[in-house]
Amino acid sequence: MTAVHDRPAPTAGVPVIRADRVSLVRDGNVLLDSVSLTVRGGEHWALLGANGAGKSTLLKLLGAVAHPTRGTVEVLGRTLGRVDLRELRTLLGHVDPRHPLRSPLTVSQVVLTGLTNSVEPLPRWAPGAEQRERAERLLKMLGMGGKTQSRWPALSQGERGRTLIARALMPQPRLLLLDEPATGLDLAAREQLLDSLDALREEHPELATVLVTHHLEELPASTTHAMLLRGGRCTASGSADEVLTTDLVSDCFGHPVRIARTDGRWTARAQRAARG
């Protein structure tokens, strides 16, 4: 395998992900079936589908966590199977709300672990002044500037989510992956998180993001593209306005819903059956 060396300069519009007809089979079960996806710098994709549709499985391939059974995946120009996955993952930002931290670290300490790609601070490693300043800037941008010394166990789920986004951004990745970031959030916390994502995308126009959810209400207004998955297959893919329609979403979820978009945000409501 070749090693990952210099970090490429971020460029809007340049492909950061190319997945070509990827399939993933585990214990005889087809989790993904011939899915293709290209994500370019500055694009913000949503992966949507019911539980078990293959969304998080696809995100693992895009995040260099797993290899496809068939097909090819290129992340930042490196082909999985020809590169050290651990090293490649250090160039990505990955936000998982199930972050396994158990220690009472401060918010600043949690964010700085993004530089070492570790859950806990590494022994005999200390961040420099410039790195601390970057952590503070990110936290302020994400609405956590007043919480830098708060301890992890005392944070709300929404505060943890925004802290983890700041953590993922510390290595200055070209690609940010978000696996159901609004899980467990109440209404106010969800709206704060989505506002933060919109602000982040405006602040870093070259950044590409891929967000997994099964609720359209959890999509930021800055979402540009969407892929619908059902049973491990892609049922639709393209610009958000063309994909997130009543007919296509109803087909994907196997249930009639009515899709609307107001002030940039999507809603889904069940269609009432016609009365005879």
pLDDT of residue 184: 80
pLDDT of residue 238: 96
Is the pLDDT score of 133 beyond 90? Answer: yes
Is the pLDDT score of 98 beyond 50? Answer: yes
Whole-angstrom Cα distance, residue 238 to residue 224?
A: 9
pLDDT of residue 274: 52
Q: How confident is the model at residue 117 (pLDDT cuts 50, 70, 90)?
A: confident
pTM of the model: 0.85
Burial class (CB in 10 A: 0-12, 13-18, 19+), 90: middle
Residues 12-56: tens digit of each pLDDT: 577 899 999 999 999 888 999 999 999 999 999 999 999 889 998
For residue 80, what are the contacts with CB-CB under 8 A and spacing of at least 6? 61, 64, 67, 68, 72, 73, 74
Residues 169-215: tens digit of each pLDDT: 898 888 999 998 888 888 988 898 898 899 889 888 899 999 999 89
Across 97-232, where does the E strand assignment appear? 175-179, 208-213, 225-230
Q: Are strands 257-262 and 265-270 parallel, antiparallel or unpaired?
A: antiparallel
Average pLDDT on 130-138 reads 92
Sorted by where each starts, the structural domains of the chain and their CATH numbers stand as 1-92+174-270 (3.40.50.300), 100-172 (no CATH)
pLDDT of residue 149: 95
